[in-house]
Structure formats: C-alpha cells, structure tokens
Chains A and B, each alone.
Chain A
C-alpha cells in the first residue's frame, strides 16, 4: 500500500519537474529526476514537518546542497502543499518567488538558500549541532550530488559531521555518475564514494536510489545509528523516468521543447 502511494507521489513530482522546466524553458531536469524518488520518501514518509508551519523550530530539516535541483525540491514542496502547484509554471520568471536556485526567504518549506555547490553539508552540520545544543530531537537531511563532492568544502564538512558525532544528520549522495562535462569518473574521479565517507567517519549505506523499499529502510536504519553520522550513497540514474533523458548528460541543464514535453508527460501518465 505504502509503496503504491509513494510511487504515485513520485510520478506527480516528476510531472511537476517537467512542468516547471518546460514553462521556464530553463532549469535542470536531469539531476532533479535522479533525486525525485528520494525526495518523495523523505517528505512523504521520513520527515516530520507541517505544511502550515514551515519554520516550526522542532521540524526536521532538509538542505538541498545541489541547489540546481530546484525543480525536484519545488515539485516536492508543491506536492506536499507548501504552495499551489500552479505556481510551478512561474519558476525562474521575473516576478516569481520560485528563484532558479532555492531561496529560504522566498519559498515556504525551503530550509536553506543554496546554489553555490559544496556548502550545504556545512549548513546541515550547523543545524544538527544546534539541535544537540538546544536539546531538540529533529533530524537534518542533506542531499549532495556526486559531482558536487569534488568541492573541497564537502570534505571539510564531513570531518565536522564525524568530529561532532552528528547522529542526527543524514547525508544523501545522489550518485547519478554524470556531471556537466561528462562522466564523473572522467571529469574528476570521486570514487570510491562509500569507502571515502566511511574512512571519514560515516556509517555508509549503499542503495538503489529508485527502489522505494531500499530508500525507506535506509532512512530507518540511519535513525537508529548512534554516535556518528550516516551517509546514504544512492545509486541513481540521471533523467530517471523520462526515457530520452535517462543517462544523457545533455539533459543536465536543458528544457524540453513542446514535442519533448508532450512525450515526457505522456510517459508520466
């Protein structure tokens, strides 16, 4: 039952992604589609949040460190009810509150402003550290891209997560293996990601990032790990769900034309 529900929700999120990028004729569909299933489980199963109180101090927090995946984040927030889905059509437009990259002061439900890669895990650490200091039992989730972890600050931040024993923090790596200039392993090899994170002090869980059961179980497991942070390395497919976008680096930051839009929406029916 749950799996069927979450499957439906992620399909809706994928539709929202395509709608937003198509109407903007700008944006990043590839890396949004790769993390859509993870966001669906996070927001509709895992996280404790309230759509009417987006800044509740006790809420769980999510930092989209790969800020260019706004279509996925906005698509999820709209699906959850933080703002009307109709607004997605204004994405990236001059009078819209839906900026190209997430803006916490403009969009209800966005916990942190991001966009310049490599900074989100540090921010999430800060939230987790204050959770402990202020004796609040919220959890903090941070999603990074696999290309993004080429940024040195990510590794500074992983040291911090482990040093301060942030077991209320869960890092998710959207391991879709592609970045703008090509395959991650050819542009600047970051592998083996899991082993690196493990040696930096994380409990590492490797999953299929499109398998709802595995995603759900990974979050459950992470919640019960004490004394150290958890990293979920989610093996994903860039462009997942739209056959002509899958594993195509060209769809990192390109909008579909009218024909492609129709084909994509047909596929998501």
Chain B
C-alpha cells in the first residue's frame, strides 16, 4: 500500500474514460451538470462531440442513455450516487435494467465520505437499491489501479452496470501487475484470527488495521469485495470456515449493502456470527470525511475494536 499519494476513484475513472475514448469510438458520456466533480470533464475536453451535458435532469439522462445503448453505443453516465441510484431509480429499473441495455452508470460521491455537503448528498443506500435489480452488475472499486482496470473491463462487457465511486482520495493499494476478475474478491493476507470483508474506501482502512494488529500478534486477512453483485460466495464461505470472526465494513447503510450480502451468503451456506460495520440506519451529516468515518465507526480504529471484542 502506497499512502504517500492519495487518489479518489472518481479521478481514476475520469482519466481512464478519456483514455478509453480513443480506442473505443462507441463510448459516449453523459453528465448532469457535474462533470467537473465526476471527472467526466476530462473526456468532454478530448471528445466534445461524444460528450452530452444533460443539465440538472438525471431522470432524463438515464433514459436518454438507454436510447443511446439501444443503438449500439456504449453510454457512460455520471452524476452523484444519490442522484443516480436515488433520484433516477425508476428510470434505471424500467429503461435500463429490465431491457438489459448496455448502460454504464458510474456514480461518484457515494457514502458519508462526501463530507461537508451532509446528509442530502451522502448516498448510503445505492448498493442496496442497485443490487436488488435483476441484470445489474454492481461494482465498488477500492483504489486507483482497480478502478482503471474495472472501467476498461466493463467497457468490454455487455449489460447494465453500476459502479460506485468515491470523492475522498484513498491510498494506492495495488501495483499495476495485480490481476483482477469481475466477481472474484481479493484476499489480502491469510491470518486466521478474523476476516475483514471491505469494499471501496474502507479497504485501505482495513489494511491499516491489519498492519497495526500484526504488531500486537493478531493475524487477520482482508477480502476486498470489489464486486458486490454477483457476490463471490466461495471466498466468503471459505474465509468463514478458516477464520474465527467475520466482520464487514462499508461506507454504506448496514441495511442492504455489503454486510447484508455477506450475511445472505452465510445464512444459507455456513451460518455464523457476522459483525457489520457501516452506517447504522441513520442519515449522515456534515463534517470532514475522515471525521465522519470515525464518527460512524467505519475506519481503522473501529475495525480494530470490532476485532478485539
């Protein structure tokens, strides 16, 4: 893990998208007046004829993208997660997921790590909403390397996709040669005292917790669950069997998110206790991202406490 340089996954997305635009001419990009924040402005500058600002009208934007996909183009649609998965849910459900249209919804500013904007802009339900939709691939990358791989991978896959991206800069966790596969969680370490299943911005926190615990003689492992749906059942069941504790951690509600996904797998296959760290059925609030992670108990210290108790 390289903590010297922090990059937000929205930035990695924007850069990769602009790069992909060169070789894949079918890519078109839509944004709802947030291209500077979602980083689709990098693509917009390079390929203005393939960038469509739809104004502050997310519902129209989603359904427009559906029409574009029906013509064989590959629309990448971006706005904040709360306006994508929340405001335009019905458009995603009926015009994208049900007709299985090849729309890539890349939603930024997910979770409480949005920070100062507060509850109205902190999307804590998007994993829950998106994974309940049939046909929808749900992804949540944890760092720059993984995000760039993921954006290229989904540009070659046919079908509706939701990618959950963050505003907050996080450390680079993976080297370029790291191999990734959609639907396969990444195991980091092989300690048997506990498994931390994390996703998105919380993976770096879990790695920091792991390093600190090593010094105290507690050996854990981490699963970076970058694919929320279809969830990697095999790795969840195996880690539950091999380790003493299962803890999930996410910048999302504990209802319907990663923790719930893990519980669903274990309840049916290997019943055991699961501790879910996440936002506990409450709305967020204003503050600095790091302060909020502490406040809601989804950072390093909270993970360490959960392992020790």
Contacts and interface: CB of A to CB of B under 8 A. Distances in A.
A119 B95 contact: yes
Nearest to B65: A126
A1 interface: no
B71 A130 contact: yes
A222 to B, nearest CB: 19
Interface stretch (A9-17, A155-163, A181-189): A155-163
B99 A104 contact: yes
B206 to A, nearest CB: 40
B70 A119 contact: no
A159 B67 contact: no
A79 to B, nearest CB: 24
B94 A116 contact: yes
B271 interface: no
B67 A126 contact: yes
Contacts of B242: none
B133 to A, nearest CB: 14
A134 B63 contact: no
Interface stretch (A107-115, A196-204, A208-216): A107-115
Interface in A229-261: none
B1 to A, nearest CB: 41
Query: Chain A interface: which size bin?
Result: 20 to 34
Given A112-B99, A113-B94, A113-B95, A122 B70 contact: no
Contacts of B94: 113-116, 119
A44 B267 CA distance: 57
Contact of A159 (B57, B90, B95): B57
B49 A133 contact: yes
A127 B67 CA distance: 5
Contact of A125 (B64, B72, B75, B99): B64
A145 interface: no
21 contacts: A111-B70, A112-B99, A114-B95, A116-B90, A116-B93, A116-B94, A119-B94, A122-B60, A122-B64, A125-B67, A126-B63, A126-B66, A126-B68, A129-B68, A134-B73, A153-B59, A153-B60, A157-B64, A159-B55, A163-B55, A164-B52
Given A126-B63, A129-B52, 10 more contacts: A103-B98, A111-B70, A112-B70, A113-B98, A119-B63, A122-B62, A129-B64, A130-B28, A133-B73, A156-B55
Interface of A: 57, 63, 103-105, 111-116, 118-120, 122-131, 133-134, 152-153, 156-157, 159-160, 163-164
